[in-house]
Amino acid sequence: AVATPELFVSTGAGVQLASKTCVFIRNSDKPIDVTAVSDNTLLFCEISGNSLQSIEAYLAFAYKPLFNNSAEWGRADEEQIHDFMSEMDHFIVNVQEALNSLVGGLELVRPKAETQEALGASRNFAL
């Protein structure tokens, strides 16, 4: 059965995410400037039930290309820009490895009923 889409508002404190959601974050008490393209007082993004996958996707497919194509680095020189991008690549690889270790981990299979009975009868095992 397909679940009916649901719209609700939450602080996220008592709700476990089961699907995709759109998150809005106010990071300032000053009023939102609706005439500005982005005044950074209201941030938003879409995340899934798996926050590590969301972070990895944003870093690898949104922020990294954005930084790679940016010409606005302020007073940073070429070496600092290169160092920043190298560290970003390293962090993305670490997140990807964490995802792989969580997904591709060891799968435990429940023993057959006769094995459970034999273990339960011979030792103090609770299965």
Q: Which helix H or strand E contains 120, and what residues bound it?
A: helix 113-122
pTM of the predicted structure, to 2 decimals:
0.54
pLDDT tens readout for residues 93-121: 998 888 888 776 656 678 788 887 777 76
Q: Render pLDDT for 36-81 as a digit per residue (tens, 0 to 9).
A: 887 778 878 787 777 778 888 888 888 898 888 888 889 999 999 9
pLDDT above 60 for 127: no
Task: Give the model's pLDDT for residue 114.
Answer: 82
Residue 110 sits at φ, ψ, to 5 deg, of -65, 135
Of 48, 51, 47, the residue nearest 102 (C-alpha): 51
d(CA 48, CA 126): 36
Predicted local distance difference test score (pLDDT) of residue 126? 55
Instruction: Pick left, alpha or beta for residue 117 (phi over 0 → left; psi -120 to 50 → alpha; otherwise beta).
Output: alpha
